Structure 1
Amino acid sequence: MAESDEGGSPVFRLIYQSHSRIPKTDRPTVLAEIFSQARSRNKGAEITGALLITDHYFAQVLEGPQGNVEELYGRISADPRHERLAVLDSGTVDHRAFGRWSMAQVSSAGHADIPLHTSNGSIHPAAPKDLTPEQSKVFTTMRNAIGADTV
């Protein structure tokens, strides 16, 4: 179920795509570093979301306080590991679609490539049947933008 911020206040959501510059041979190591850093930093910044990765593209959804999300996107924009960033959608939403996900990597077919870390520290895999309609809608937007397979 989607969650709002404490007190039920709206949150800011930003969805972007980019072209990966990470050489295929370096991807496992580099992506592991990205996820480790993202989970740690995002929790402190009250940011949740998911990252879709294909061989050549990234698509990511970030949710949280607007200033924190925009600051993170600014750092992401300057990261040399990708190029040609484009914002697919941004704005205030009534609640988080990914409030229980500190950050998750989702395969192009919609299955979790790695376990999801929830905001309370629990770890569990996600499957398409476990996604809310809103999460599925966001993932469809992301997949369509980068030409990933749809579920």
Structure 2
Amino acid sequence: MAASDESGSPVFRLIYQSHSRIPKSDRPTVLGEIFSTARSRNKGADITGALLITDHYFAQVLEGPQGTVEELYGRISADPRHERLAVLDSGTVDERAFGKWSMAQVSAAGHADIPLHTANGEIHPAAPSHLTAEQSKVFATMRNAIGADTV
């Protein structure tokens, strides 16, 4: 049986890493634009996920319908603001780990810039102690790939 989300559609997850080409002086502005655009577009496209940023690397998880995720990854791959992209993991999963996040920015330590929602709808600060086991597993994959500190 194929994995599905609340709508009954299959859930595809893709995790990738890349090397940032954004000059340090431009990062606040450029990253702000990236998150604003991603959150707006992803919500309408049924894409959820998180983006981990360090000084030199990105690691991102995207979840949603397979064709939509793959199309988005194709556009992301062509973006000149990063290079040396590598897919870390991809495939169908039982459920979304980031179902309430159109795109969260995650620090190297695992803190997100938007609150976490638990399965029963409670909202918690985005601290590692409130991560689900699946979120922790995905974040560990992302952090390990780009050499970010673990919690």
State TM-score, norm by structure 1: 0.89
Distance 2:5 2:139 in 1: 21
What is the one-letter code of the residue matched to 1:78? A
Distance 1:24 1:125 in 2: 28
Partner residue, 2:75:
75
Q: CA RMSD in A?
A: 1.7
Paired residue secondary structure (2:75): helix
Partner residue, 1:106:
106
Paired residue secondary structure (1:36): helix
Superposition misfits of 4+ residues, deviation over 3 angstroms: 7-10
Write out per-residue CA displacement over residues 112-136 of structure 1, whole angstroms, 9 at most, x where no aligned residue: 2x23497xxxx97411011100000
How many pairs are equivalent? 143
Write out per-residue CA displacement over residues 43-70 of structure 1, whole angstroms, 9 at most, x where no aligned residue: 0110000000000000000000001000
Give the unaligned 5+ runs of structure 1: none
1:77 Cα deviation from its structure 2 partner: 0.1
What is the one-letter code of the residue matched to 1:139? F
Partner residue, 1:26:
26
Partner residue, 1:147:
147
Distance 2:75 2:115 in 1: 23
Structure 1 residues 117 and 137 mapped into 2: Cα distance closer, same or farther (>3 Å)? closer
Write out per-residue CA displacement over residues 84-108 of structure 1, whole angstroms, 9 at most, x where no aligned residue: 0000000001110111111101100
Distance 2:124 2:82 in 1: 29
